[in-house]
Amino acid sequence: MNVNNALKINAETPFMAIDEDQTKINIKNMQKIANSSNKRLRPHSKTHKIPEIASWQISEGASGVCVQKVSEAEVMFNGGITNILISNEVVDKRKTDRIAKLASEGCNISVAVDSLYGAKKLSESALYKNVKIDVLLDIDTGMHRCGVSPSNIEGFNNSLKNLNGLNVSGWMAYDGQVHNPINIEREKEVEIESVKLKLLSDSMKNKINQNIISVGGTPTAYLWAKYDFVNELQPGTYVYYDMHCNAMNLCSISDISMGVVSQVMSKSSDPEERVVLDAGYKSISLDQGVYPTIITENGQTGNVTGMSEEHTVVDSKNLDLKIGDRVVMLPYHACTTTDFWDYAWLFSKFHNSRTLLVQGRGKRE
């Protein structure tokens, strides 16, 4: 992020700022990884929640986007994105009806499934709207969240064969648990998962459609890219990156393209030197107990010693900060920070700053 340009934006603090130039560089670089390994790239839009940014990704070559919620799919479709994977289970009939409605309106929509219950609801909705809905079998390869065990996948697939309105187009295996800060350890974990998936792929070659084998988040997409039997990557955070990615050596601090601009509202030297910013954990996420990183105009980093709803306390003994100064706060987790904001300020060296609605903000259902 160009910190100085972010700090120059003429807006009241705190506000979310996006460096358009760096974001587009991040998009291009991940697309190069996908292209060089002959993989489709289906980025997860939950990081940015903005159809315009999704359109940048698709313009560079992405095949579509992932979303987690039906309401996010509706936002993306209404924003012009027509190829969407809901990479999450949907089991409520009202929601499956909305999915079928999207399909009937021309959305190329697919859904992850791990239960006959959810698949039946999708089937009923598809039949009512006279559409076909693609589904991906959600496979649990180690995260132990959603997903069918590899040993049960054939039986699960067989249970779907009599459900009209659905088309099993492949499977997905998300590995969100793989975020070891040591690259070689992440590589070992992906290798273990790849063995499971390859055995499954080989054994199910003539039994299950494998047109799509979708894997990988930002920490592992570049590792999955080397495996020929998978054909789709679904990273999300890379669009902005964050301090968690920096801790995993996936990016430098300068690669992080989104942050929150905040202002020093108080300063004290009793009992210790500190400044207080006008943004707290209602403005930037306190994720996994890790505070954001503070960057000053001259590139200094500040040590956060405490946060509350509307305040962040920073140790200022080595910082040249006074009341009224601005800083950029870089989040440990970009995705959860995005969801705090109705709009962001987009800035670039090529045009004046402008606001961008975070249209997927608050979409829970």
Residue-level pLDDT at 225: 97
110-137 confidence digits (pLDDT tens): 999 999 999 999 999 999 999 999 999 9
Residue 301: Cβ-neighbour burial (10 angstroms; 0-12, 13-18, 19+): middle
Span 225-239, average pLDDT: 97
Span 63-83, average pLDDT: 98
Q: How much of the chain exceeds pLDDT 90, in percent?
A: 93
- Contacts of residue 256, defined as CB under 8 A and 6 or more positions apart, other chains included, come to 1, 22, 240, 241, 242, 243, 245, 246, 330, 334
Give residue 342's pLDDT band: very low, low, confident or very high (50, 70, 90). Answer: very high
The C-alpha angle 238, 69, 106, rounded to 5 degrees, equals 95
Give residue 206's pLDDT band: very low, low, confident or very high (50, 70, 90). Answer: confident
Span 226-236, average pLDDT: 97
- Contacts of residue 221, defined as CB under 8 A and 6 or more positions apart, other chains included, come to 30, 33, 34, 233, 234, 235, 238
Residue-level pLDDT at 358: 98
The first and second tokens of residue 282, run together, are 């209602």
Span 228-257, average pLDDT: 97
Q: Is the pLDDT of residue 272 over 90?
A: no
Q: Is the pLDDT of residue 142 over 90?
A: no
How high does pLDDT run on average in the chain?
96
Q: How much of the chain exceeds pLDDT 70, in percent?
A: 100
- Domains detected in the chain: 3-15+251-357 (2.40.37.20), 20-240 (3.20.20.10)
- Report pTM: 0.96
Residue-level pLDDT at 89: 98
d(CA 246, CA 196) in angstroms, rounded, equals 29
Residue-level pLDDT at 237: 98
